Amino acid sequence: MSGSHPSTIARAVDHELLVKKSRFIARIAPVSSPEDADAVIAAVRKRAWDARHHCSAQITGPLGERARSSDDGEPSGTAGVSMLEVLRRRELTDVVAVVTRYFGGVKLGAGGLVRAYSSSVSEALDLATVLDRRMLTAVEVSVPYVDAGRFDNLLREWVHSRGGVLDDPVYAAAASSFVVWVRPEAVPELAAAIAEASAGAVTARSTGVEKLIDVPRGAP
């Protein structure tokens, strides 16, 4: 987890697990709301209409405050709850997991079902690109138009090495404006870099605006 905020994933992943002739097909997808999660589940149901079960688990909200699961006909507690527990252990939010089961004719028992459904989700998440969520603050930098290219390169290199984010610049006839999203504690360092690069002619102004931004796990 990044700070106090759960992480999420960058894009949907699919994974199939075969257990005693039963096929467990997991789809894990990023979502922005319970409605989005329900739409993913509905799409899986439509695509795999001939399957016996479509068990699911979802966690949404900035702090993962909303969670739901469904056993979809499997014995109570053997599917949805175990899938949900995997998502919680991975400290994820804004994600939905759907595991479609094609019955292979061999009963797995309660313990076997728990292991199969949880393993399906866990193995699928091993394939996912995890995004850590950071609370970043906006810093505005306004430079003369003739210096825009130089500062664009400088800021891109700076955020790349420090896990920040640079918005698209706004160009005007006289000046160009940049918005840099950085960790609050890095604002003085950015201001110093800007002052050094401009011999004190350009300043960085913290706007006080903060927002959660997703960055690849492992970023500085």
Residues ≥6 apart with Cβ < 8 Å to 40:
27, 29, 31, 96, 98
Q: What is d(CA 24, CA 121) in angstroms, rounded to the nearest whole number?
A: 10
Distance of CA 141 to the CA centre of its chain: 28
Q: What is d(CA 196, CA 202) in angstroms, rounded to the nearest whole number?
A: 9
Q: What angle do CA 8, 160, 3 make, to 5 degrees?
A: 40
Looking only at Cα atoms, what is the longest distance across the chain?
75
**pLDDT for 2:** 43
Strand partners for 49? none
Please check whether residue 188 is in contact with residue 167, taking contact to mean a CB–CB distance below 8 angstroms: no
Average of pLDDT values for 61-80? 93
pLDDT > 90 fraction of the chain, expressed in percent and rounded: 56
Q: What is d(CA 69, CA 83) in angstroms, rounded to the nearest whole number?
A: 8
Lowest-pLDDT range of 17-31, 104-118, 200-214: 200-214
Q: pLDDT grade, residue 1 (50/70/90)? A: very low
Lowest-pLDDT range of 27-41, 48-62, 74-88, 171-185: 171-185
How does DSSP classify residue 6?
Answer: -
The structure tokens listed for 35 are 């409605």
3-state secondary structure of 156: helix
pLDDT digits (tens, 9 = 90+) for 131-151: 998 889 999 988 888 888 888
Please list the helix, strand and coil fractions of the chain in percent, rounded to the nearest 5, in that order: 35, 40, 30
Average of pLDDT values for 71-82? 93
Pairing mode, strands 130-144 and 8-9:
antiparallel
* pLDDT greater than 90 at residue 127: yes
CA pseudo-torsion sign 157, 158, 164, 168: negative
**pLDDT for 210:** 87
Q: What is d(CA 179, CA 170) in angstroms, rounded to the nearest whole number?
A: 9
Average of pLDDT values for 71-75? 93
pLDDT digits (tens, 9 = 90+) for 17-48: 999 988 999 999 999 999 999 999 999 999 99
Distance of CA 2 to the CA centre of its chain: 11
